[in-house]
Amino acid sequence: MQQMQQIPDVIKLIPLNFYVLFSSALFCIGIVGVLTRRNAIIIFMSVELMLNAVNLLLAAFSSYRADPSGQIFVFFIMAVAAAEVAVGLAIIVMIYRNIQTIDVGILNKLKW
């Protein structure tokens, strides 16, 4: 209990801006990943990276404000992301079964 209350103090040793910048960087890496990769799974992983950047940020804010709701949100995100993974991978598998590839570049039949 004692230790728990010290956590914010420990975390605050690093300025909040650092967390913000770090997770922003992480988020941007995720975006770049989404933009540059053609493999559906890698893109999906990049999206997960973005979500994790958000998680980190939430955790940091939560600690700085000594407000647990942010951390609770992190759990929600994790749970929902897991569901998303399940569905997403299923879709990817389905596509792989049909066309033996998961390159999003060639999935452009629907256009104009």
Among 8, 29, 73, 101, binds another protein (CB under 8 A): 73
Q: Does 93 bind another protein (CB under 8 A)?
A: no
Q: Residue 34 in contact with residue 46, Cβ under 8 Å?
A: yes
Region at 41 (left for phi over 0; alpha for psi -120 to 50; beta for the rest): alpha
Radius of gyration of the chain from its Cα atoms, rounded to whole angstroms: 18
Helix, strand, coil distribution of the chain in percent, nearest 5: 80, 0, 15
Q: Does 12 bind another protein (CB under 8 A)?
A: no
Q: Does 54 bind another protein (CB under 8 A)?
A: yes
**The one-letter amino acid at 106:** I
Among 15, 18, 76, 78, binds another protein (CB under 8 A): 76
**Binding-site ranges for another protein (CB under 8 A):** 16, 20, 23, 27, 30-31, 34-35, 38, 40, 43-44, 47, 50-51, 53-54, 57-58, 60-62, 65, 67, 69-70, 72-73, 76-77, 80, 83-84, 87-88, 90-92, 94-95, 98-99, 104-105, 107-112
